[in-house]
Chain A
């Protein structure tokens, strides 16, 4: 059975004392796909992501990770399978040093100390942050924080990576490094973002959300090239696709 699969079936959700935010939403993402989740402010992207590791539970409908529905009994396993990189890395880095922060998850898994140390080393290596391992998180730059936040998730060895606005507050070099990093991952990736150029470079598939529904689902180039569709949902065609010639990365 593969964990790399994530599925939403007719998910409805409302915050307490609020109107429906997710309104009958369905999709299925399979092994190794990189999916961009786009839509204007307040479309419900973050709300949807909170469902994927069980912080919010749908009013009706269900989320399935691998082949098991996400319930109170399976939520611990689901959180191991789905690693979430939060929008603000300050929320994610709560331990005194980078190394301790990356070790936090593996320690909670009850792994022996030498394996914890090995995972910490590997995760920091992967994101190129070995040099800051003893630094406290508040002394890192925004880009370094983001990279370390990703390392904390990688150290859990999830099958699926979920990211909320990973490029916000990064400068162009930091953004470039992050894109290269994300491109190298073999995980199933779900990236909610307003950075459509990022989607062009990383994602093979795009979901457009509007008012709590998935309004479009298809290959990235097709959808991002469809000016009318994007316009209808308050989005703009990415610059790199609006020329006749393609100047994609590489």
Chain B
């Protein structure tokens, strides 16, 4: 979570090349413009899927992940039908699958880093494809890869087909404590502002220190400390703005009160599909039908 070597791919998709001041700018622009900004535009669309009650989507997504994770560790083919869910959501919400796919590729590789050991630790051959024996380790690693793509793409799709505001709103109505919901909203609201401020500070430093130099610890303390002080000052001003409009610690929200029958159908329909796909290996059946040898 805190150390990266040079050139490592950061989890927000920004490739760190040089470590100097220039990288500060690259990173802040990377996150602000490419990453979050684009996602924000996706989430802000107005397709029927976007406008659907966020609670339903959150619930369905969690059930989906639960089903995917419940498969035994060597499962591969039976997981395939589950790709239908994120793909249909992307289709209905007008999200280019290539966009989500790219984000999946650069998502945090922890699962892969851990999973890659499986082939070494579990070398006993398990199945044979053509003339090649495949060990259990490779199977379970492949399975981890597939689970990874499924869960990551569905998480990203949830946001892209809902938008952070509607998501927060839905969370609030699902009983997530209001303090947390407001916290999320405010964090998101000031993300851009503070990142820009950090970029400005970094550029200011870079102008004085030259682009080649590296950030020493002392400079780092000053830079981040400065950003912290500015953030605290801003928080103070935001508080004043809130207080001058009658804020006393409670935030009331205007909720659009809707839960339509279609929404429930969406939930029930998908959960049924997950159930069927979980207990019958749909892909396996289809393969058998095709290749023959079915029962």
A–B contact with Cβ pairs below 8 Å: the answer is yes
Answer whether residue A128 sits at the interface, using C-beta atoms and an 8 A cutoff: no
Q: Report if A80-B246 is in contact (Cβ < 8 Å); known contacts: A90-B193, A116-B254, A138-B193.
A: yes
Does B241 contact A79, Cβ atoms closer than 8 Å? no
Contact in complex: A94, B254 (CB < 8 Å): no
**Complex contact A109–B246 (CB within 8 A):** yes
Q: Which residue numbers of A lie inside 8 Å of B, CB to CB?
A: 50, 53, 55, 76, 79-80, 82-84, 86, 88, 90-92, 94-97, 100, 103-105, 107-109, 113, 116-117, 136-138, 152-153, 156
Please list the 9 inter-chain residue pairs (A to B) with the smallest Cβ-Cβ separation, ordered nearest first: A108-B246, A105-B245, A91-B237, A96-B165, A107-B252, A92-B241, A138-B192, A79-B244, A91-B238
A43 CB → nearest B CB, Å: 20
A90 CB to nearest chain B CB (Å): 5
- B interface, over-half SS: helix
A53 and B254 contacting across the interface, CB-CB below 8 Å: no
Within 8 A of A (CB), among B248-275: 248, 250-254
A92 to B246, CA, bound (A): 13
Interchain CB contact under 8 A, B189 and A95: yes
Contact (Cβ within 8 A) B241 A91: yes
- List 10 A–B pairs whose Cβ atoms lie within 8 Å, in order of A's numbering: A53-B244, A82-B244, A91-B240, A94-B189, A100-B254, A103-B254, A107-B251, A108-B252, A116-B254, A137-B189
A76 to B247 CA separation, bound complex (whole angstroms): 10
- Count B-side interface residues using an 8 Å CB cutoff: 29
Name the A residues within 8 Å of B190 (CB-CB): 94
A108-B168 Cα distance, complex, nearest whole Å: 20
With contact pairs A95-B189, A100-B253 given, residues A152 and B245 touching in the complex (Cβ less than 8 Å)? yes
Listed residue (B186, B234, B240) with the most chain A CB atoms within 10 angstroms of its CB: B240
Closest residue of chain A to B243 (Cβ to Cβ) is: A79
Given known A-B contacts A76-B246, A94-B186, A137-B189, A86 and B241 have beta carbons under 8 A apart? yes
A90 to B193, CA, bound (A): 8
Contact B168 A86 (CB under 8 A): no
* A80 partner residues in chain B, CB cutoff 8 A: 246
List, in ascending order, chain B residues with CB within 8 A of A76's CB: 246
In the complex, the chain A residue whose C-beta lies closest to that of B246 is A108
Chain B residues within an 8 Å CB radius of A116: 254
Shortest CB–CB separation between residue A231 and chain B, in angstroms?
Answer: 33
Cβ distance B198 to chain A, nearest Cβ, rounded Å: 14
Does B242 make an interface contact (CB < 8 A)? yes
Q: Assess the B245–A97 pair: CB atoms within 8 A.
A: no
**How far, in angstroms, from A86 to B234 measured CA to CA in the complex?**
12
- Which single residue of chain B is at the shortest CB-CB distance from A109? B246
Q: Are B246 and A94 in contact (CB under 8 A)?
A: no
Q: Tell which of B40, B238, B245 touches A108, judged by Cβ atoms closer than 8 Å.
A: B245
Contact with A along B30-66 (1 / 0, CB 8 A): 0000000000100010000000000000000000000
CB distance B254 to A113 under 8 Å?
yes
Which of A50, A96, A136, A156 counts the most chain B CB atoms within 10 A?
A: A96
B237 touching A88, Cβ below 8 Å: yes
